[in-house]
Homo-oligomer: A and B are copies of this chain.
Amino acid sequence: MITGDSSIPELNPPSRLLLGPGPANINSRVLRAMTAPLLGYLDPDFVRIMDDVAVGLRQVFGTKSFTLPVSGTGSAGMEAGLANLLEPGDTVIVVDAGYFGDRMVEMAERLGATVVRIPVEWGKVVEIGEVRKAFQAQKKVKLLTCVHAETSTGVLQSLTELSRLAKEYGALFMADTVTSLGANKIGFDELGIDFAFSGTQKCIGAPPGLSPCAVSTAALQVISTRKTKPYSWYLDIGLLRKYWEGGERVYHHTAPMSMVYALREALRMVQEEGLEKRWQRHTRNGKALRAGLQALGLKLLVPEAYCLYQLTSVLIPQGIDDLKFRQALLREYNIEAGAGLGKFRSQIWRLGLMGENSTPANVLLLLSALEKLLPQNGYELAPGAGVAAASKVLAQT
- Interface residues in chain A, defined as those with a beta carbon under 8 Å from any beta carbon in chain B: 1-2, 4, 6-16, 18, 20, 22-26, 28, 31-41, 43, 45-46, 49, 52, 55-56, 58-59, 62-64, 71-76, 78-79, 83, 103, 106-107, 110-112, 189, 199, 201, 207-209, 229-235, 251-259, 261-262, 264-265, 267-268, 271, 274, 336, 338, 341
Check B71 against A209 for contact (C-beta < 8 Å): yes
Are A253 and B14 interface neighbours, CB within 8 A?
no
Contact for A209 among B7, B20, B83, B259, CB less than 8 A:
B259
Number of copies: 2
Q: Which of B23, B33, B37 contacts A38 (CB 8 A)?
A: B23
Q: Which residue of chain B is the closest to A70 with respect to CB atoms?
A: B72
Q: Are B72 and A11 in contact (CB under 8 A)?
A: no
Contact residue among B49, B208, B232, B267 (Cβ-Cβ distance under 8 Å from A232):
B232
Nearest CB of chain B from residue A325's CB, rounded to whole Å: 15
B336, A64: Cβ atoms closer than 8 Å: no
CA distance A63 to B2 in the complex (A): 7
Residues of chain B within 8 A (CB-CB) of A24 are 38
Task: Note all chain B residues with C-beta closer than 8 A to A45.
Answer: 13-14
User: A18 to chain B: which residues have CB within 8 Å?
Assistant: 38-40
12 pairs, CB–CB < 8 Å, chain A vs chain B: A7-B268, A8-B55, A13-B39, A14-B37, A15-B37, A23-B41, A31-B258, A34-B258, A71-B73, A110-B232, A251-B341, A259-B259
From B10, B35, B112, B230, give the contact of A34 (CB < 8 A). Answer: B35
Shortest Cβ distance from residue A6 to the other chain B in the assembled complex, whole angstroms: 5
Whether A23 and B11, one on each chain, are in contact in the complex, defined by CB atoms closer than 8 angstroms, is no
Question: Whole-angstrom distance between the alpha carbons of A254 and B4 in the complex?
Answer: 30
Using known A-B contacts A73-B71, A111-B231, A259-B256, determine if residue A2 contacts B59 with beta carbons closer than 8 Å: yes
A242, chain B: closest CB distance, angstroms: 15
- Give A23 Cβ to nearest chain B Cβ, in Å: 5
Q: Are A76 and B234 in contact (CB under 8 A)?
A: yes
**Which listed residue (B4, B59, B232) contacts A79, Cβ 8 A?**
B232
A98 to B258: give the CA distance in the assembly, Å.
28
Contact at B35–A31, with CB atoms within 8 Å?
A: yes
Q: Complex formed: what's the CA distance from A112 to B6 in Å?
A: 41
The verdict on A257 contacting B23 (CB below 8 Å), with A39-B13, A56-B8 known, is yes
Q: Which residues of B contact A110 (CB under 8 A)?
A: 229-233
Residues of B within 8 A of A107 (CB): 233
Of B37, B233, B235, the residue contacting A16 (CB under 8 A) is B37
A56-B8, A231-B110, A258-B258 known; A38 vs B207 contact (CB < 8 Å): yes
Contacts of A12 in B (CB 8 A): 36
Residues of B within 8 A of A58 (CB): 1-2
For the complex, what is the distance from the CA of A186 to the CA of B389, rounded to whole Å? 62
Contact present for B207 and A258 (CB under 8 Å): yes
Q: In the complex, A288 Cα to B119 Cα: how many Å?
A: 65
Chain B residue with Cβ nearest A6: B55
Chain B: minimal CB distance from A152 (Å): 11
Beta-carbon nearest neighbor of A38 in chain B = B23
Q: A16, A74, A341 — which one has the most chain B CB atoms within 10 A of its CB?
A: A16
Q: Which residue of B lies closest to A341 (CB)?
A: B251
Contact A1 B31 (CB under 8 A): no
Tell whether, in the assembled complex, residue A11 and residue B33 are in contact, meaning their CB atoms are under 8 Å apart.
Answer: yes
**B residues within 8 A CB of A62?**
2
Closest B residue, CB atoms, query A112: B231
Q: How far is the CA of A279 from the CA of B32 in the complex (A)?
A: 32
